[in-house]
Structure 1
Amino acid sequence: MKLAHGLALLPKSRGDEDSWSLMMQKVLIFINNQLNVMFQGLEEEARSSEVVRLLLPPGKDPPPPLGGLTASAKNSDQAMKRPEQVLVSRVSTLMTCCCTMLTDAYPVQVSVPVCSLVALVKRVLMVDGSFSQSSPFMTAMRQDLICLELPELHRCSLELLSSIVKGLRSQLFHMWQISHDC
């Protein structure tokens, strides 16, 4: 919890919209990448690209990774071998960070990536453990472990959805009209 709160406070040190937006973008991309590892074989492959498509306009390069980590093949192989509980812990911590960023006061008005946030929430809530595509990474035991962790991910996703509503308050109707077009 302290890590999520500390990470959410980092953009306040600069106090500009770009710092907040960049941090939110990095966190959402990292969450999405962790979900790619976790949900492999439990969802259609197209779902993972929806969040990235909403975060990164065509032709735009992704920001440097969160924490300066490089996404090498070695790192992704190691992530595949990590227990699902560690992945869930990372994702839930970063979702808490997003919640804090959305609900804490910030010195300037920022553009909230509503479509990306809602797509991420939708992605998590759509996984129920029943879709099992034949995948070399999905064993019955791994699927059971992920299914045990799904309620925690669903809870964090619903908290994120609640934070979107709290953070936007009066802007919600206007933002709904915008996000309805997404």
Structure 2
Amino acid sequence: MAPTFRAAVRVLTLLLPVTLLPGTACAATGSFTYTPISELHVLQDPSAVCHPTPAGSRVDNETNQPVALYPTRNCAGHPLAHISPGTTKHTSFEALLPIGFGSGTLVYYTRPHPQHLEDPPSDTCRNIAGDGPVYNQTTSTALLYRHPNCPGTHHHAVAPHHHTDAMFASVLFVD
């Protein structure tokens, strides 16, 4: 082999691994904000005392007595609503007060604080569950799936700098 050809092969041999190295992973730049799934709370045969329920969002009154919902954690002031036995109410409240001593089950849900993902990686499924407002302030489209592990077709596609309300179990960011 000629010396110049050997030198060229050596240079290519040294450069080839650098050329073939995989690129760095892409990430969506920005913040993805979602509302986690509401937490379930159960009161069996609730007593007629004020029950603080920070960030209450829904009540299922399965007791035999009405329940009052309040905007304050100490049941002060006027109630926001009265929930009759056997009914459900979707509204924001901070405390509930059973009217009288009843029997049965009082189920209420509290909404956790919004969660944020900063600069989430693209093309990587994230198993995060949400139910409510979703704000995609990233540079990638967020695909929301109904089930964990991003199977099948997405349920919602949230474009960069857009928002929606959705229930989802996983998300995939795509460029």
TM bin, normalised by shorter chain, reads: under 0.3
The TM-score normalised by the length of structure 1 is 0.21
The TM-score normalised by the length of structure 2 is 0.22
**Which protein is bigger by CA-based radius of gyration?**
2
The structure richer in helix per residue is 1
Q: Higher RCO, 1 or 2 (CA under 8 Å, sep at least 6)? A: 1
